[in-house]
């Protein structure tokens, strides 16, 4: 058994290691080392917890068994999960953090003596507030992440679910949670505690259902942030520095990512939360109006010819590429082009994919070196000097409407200046609009050649034609 002071010092050390873990991610070179710092921090925190409790009953055996059960499940998932499914996985993991926070809070409420927080029915006021906030945020994270998971997985439709008085209801429930916590402090009643947890579950669901598929990158980042705040709330309850530091880190990390995502879509955080964006219903109508315009379409042969005669090609991948699993075929195509001394780079929009940085991971998986992949602001000026832009599975992020039409819902969103290229190859299954439900002007430009096909099949055909 080690003293409380010594264990507090160790918790601080593990908190610092977590900071270093995030610091490592500033470049891919240091990132792997960063991950090891994180693992070291976790091991220290767990070992110190065992040592500080000291008097092991036979519970210890069970703790280790349960730890290993969870660990094996986690390891199994980590090795099996395809990289395209990362958004769902992260959403799923967020829900687990949330639920774990709820359960720890419940355990602390039922047995405050174990945590040195007072006695059942007479818990220290501050601890009671902290644990109920931790439980509430945890519950919101849990049910919200479940909804996000279902939407990303496609089990639930990505279109927003809206009913009248929705925001008022959320507001009332939100205020209700605070009122209940206030009464909980006065009465210490277990029933009120359970009600707080229950209402919070409900709020989590209600909060995420109105948010459409296009806004999912923001949702995941936001839930990431919530899971951090939940951990911090529990950290205050347990008076544990490692948890407080981690909670603050994760909370601000998620908040920054949400901000970056909102900025990349030119949407305010509030409007994302209020939801309703990316409704499927409005899409059909607009499509009808635009169907008449002439479109140039080509086949793999034309595309191969254009690219072979280019000196520089910029590839613009989007989520469609991931869905079609075309990243490996794409890489093959790029290899062929490079053999012909054609300069190839990749342009990635911040909201390409369903979560921040998703495209980068998919390209990395297909063995694309990360120094050939560029972010929007680094590459946008290059389009004007390039011969071919190869848009594969992306749509809204290339739409020039965002720059020209103030009435468009995506007006002001930073987009890739694809149309400035000498020619644009646009791989797409049909002319249907993207997630934002708006038509893409790019389809009808003179220098655009539409390649109507499945992204993977088209890329493979182009590869054949490049020989």
Partner 1 sequence: MEIDPFIFRLSIFILSIFVGYYVVWSVTPSLHTPLMSVTNAISSVIIVGAIIAALAGTSENVFETSSTFGFIAIILAAINIFGGFLVTHRMLQMYKKKKVKKK
Which residue's CB is nearer to partner 1, number 20 or number 156?
Answer: 20
- Report DSSP state, residue 116: T
Q: How far is CA 214 from the centre of its chain?
A: 12
Which residue's CB is nearer to partner 1, number 276 or number 357?
Answer: 357
The answer to whether the CB of 425 falls within 8 A of the CB of 451 is yes
The answer to whether the CB of 386 falls within 8 A of the CB of 314 is yes
Which residue's CB is nearer to partner 1, number 247 or number 409?
Answer: 247
Q: Does 329 bind partner 1 (CB under 8 A)?
A: no
- From residue 253 to residue 292, the character string flagging contacts with partner 1 as x (rule: CB under 8 A) and all else as - is xx-xx--x--------------------------------
The answer to whether the CB of 226 falls within 8 A of the CB of 98 is yes
Q: Does 13 bind partner 1 (CB under 8 A)?
A: no
- The footprint of partner 1 on residues 37-56 (CB under 8 A) is 38-39, 41-42, 45-46, 49-50, 53, 56
Q: Does 317 bind partner 1 (CB under 8 A)?
A: no
Q: Copy the structure tokens of residue 267.
A: 């949407």
Q: Please provide the size of the chain in residues.
A: 467
Which residue's CB is nearer to partner 1, number 300 or number 348?
Answer: 348
260 CB burial (10 A radius; 0-12, 13-18, 19+)? middle
- From residue 223 to residue 242, the character string flagging contacts with partner 1 as x (rule: CB under 8 A) and all else as - is -x--xx--xx-xxxxxxxxx
Min dist CB 455 to partner 1, Å, is 21
In this structure, is the dihedral angle defined by the CA atoms of residues 82, 88, 92 and 98, taken in order, positive or negative?
A: positive
Min dist CB 278 to partner 1, Å, is 21
Q: What whole-number distance in Å separates Cα of residue 282 and Cα of residue 291?
A: 15
In this structure, is the dihedral angle defined by the CA atoms of residues 363, 364, 367 and 373, taken in order, positive or negative?
A: positive
Q: What whole-number distance in Å separates Cα of residue 312 and Cα of residue 324?
A: 25
Q: Copy the structure tokens of residue 156.
A: 């639930």
Which residue's CB is nearer to partner 1, number 237 or number 386?
Answer: 237
- The footprint of partner 1 on residues 349-408 (CB under 8 A) is 350, 355-358, 360-361, 364-365, 367, 369-373, 375
* Stretch near partner 1 under the rule CB under 8 A, chosen from 163-171, 203-211, 219-227, 435-443: 219-227
CA distance to 309, 403, 410, per residue, from 407 (Å):
39, 11, 8
Q: What whole-number distance in Å separates Cα of residue 332 and Cα of residue 354?
A: 24
- The footprint of partner 1 on residues 157-196 (CB under 8 A) is none
Q: Copy the structure tokens of residue 28.
A: 């891919």
Q: Which of 4, 9, 51, 69 binds partner 1 (CB under 8 A)?
A: 69
Q: Does 79 bind partner 1 (CB under 8 A)?
A: yes
Q: Does 1 bind partner 1 (CB under 8 A)?
A: no
- From residue 85 to residue 104, the character string flagging contacts with partner 1 as x (rule: CB under 8 A) and all else as - is -x--xx--xx-xx-xxx-xx
* Stretch near partner 1 under the rule CB under 8 A, chosen from 76-84, 149-157, 191-199, 284-292: 76-84
Q: What whole-number distance in Å separates Cα of residue 24 and Cα of residue 339?
A: 34
Annotated active-site positions, please? 396
Count of residues touching partner 1 (by CB under 8 A): 116
Q: What whole-number distance in Å separates Cα of residue 430 and Cα of residue 42?
A: 49
* Stretch near partner 1 under the rule CB under 8 A, chosen from 16-24, 207-215, 272-280, 289-297: 16-24
């Amino acid at each position: 058994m080690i003293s409380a002071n010594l264990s507090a010092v160790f918790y601080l050390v593990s908190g610092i290691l977590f900071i270093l873990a995030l610091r490592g991610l500033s470049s891919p070179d240091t990132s792997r080392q960063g991950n090891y710092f994180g693992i070291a921090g976790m091991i220290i925190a767990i070992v110190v917890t065992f040592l500080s409790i000291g008097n092991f009953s036979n519970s210890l055996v069970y703790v280790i068994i349960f730890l290993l059960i969870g660990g094996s499940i986690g390891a199994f998932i980590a090795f099996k999960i395809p990289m395209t499914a990362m958004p769902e996985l992260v959403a799923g993991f967020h829900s687990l953090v949330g639920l774990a926070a709820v359960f720890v809070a419940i355990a602390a409420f039922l047995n405050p003596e174990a945590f040195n927080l007072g006695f059942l029915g007479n818990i220290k006021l501050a601890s009671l507030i902290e644990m109920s906030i931790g439980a509430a945020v945890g519950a919101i994270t849990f049910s919200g992440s479940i909804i996000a998971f279902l939407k990303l997985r496609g089990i639930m439709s990505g279109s927003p679910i809206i009913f009248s008085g929705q925001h008022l209801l959320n507001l009332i429930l939100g205020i209700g949670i605070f009122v209940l916590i206030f009464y909980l402090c006065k009465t210490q009643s277990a029933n009120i505690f359970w009600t707080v947890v229950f209402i919070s579950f409900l709020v989590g669901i209600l909060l995420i259902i109105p948010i459409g598929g296009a806004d999912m990158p923001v949702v995941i980042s936001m839930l990431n942030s919530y899971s951090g705040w939940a951990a911090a709330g529990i950290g205050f309850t347990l008076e544990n520095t490692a948890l407080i530091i981690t909670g603050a880190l994760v909370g601000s990390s998620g908040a920054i990512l949400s901000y970056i995502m909102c900025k990349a879509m030119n949407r305010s955080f509030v409007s994302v939360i209020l939801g309703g964006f990316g409704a499927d219903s409005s899409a059909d109508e607009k499509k009808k109006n635009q169907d008449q315009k002439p479109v140039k379409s080509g086949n793999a042969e034309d595309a191969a010819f254009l690219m072979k005669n280019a000196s520089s090609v910029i590839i613009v991948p989007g989520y469609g590429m991931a869905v079609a699993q075309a990243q490996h075929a794409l890489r093959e195509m790029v290899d062929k082009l490079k053999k012909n001394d054609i300069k190839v780079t990749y342009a990635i929009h911040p909201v390409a994919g369903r979560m921040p940085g998703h495209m980068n991971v998919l390209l990395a998986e297909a063995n694309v070196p990360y120094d050939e992949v560029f972010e929007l602001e680094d590459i946008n000026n290059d389009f004007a000097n390039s011969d071919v832009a190869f848009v594969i599975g992306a749509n809204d992020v290339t739409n020039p409407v965002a720059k020209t039409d103030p009435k468009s819902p995506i007006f002001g969103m930073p987009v890739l200046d694809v149309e400035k290229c000498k020619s644009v190859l646009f791989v797409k299954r049909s002319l249907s609009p993207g997630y934002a439900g708006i038509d893409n002007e790019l389809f009808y430009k003179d220098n655009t050649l539409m390649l109507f096909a499945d992204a993977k099949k088209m890329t493979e055909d182009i590869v054949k034609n490049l020989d």
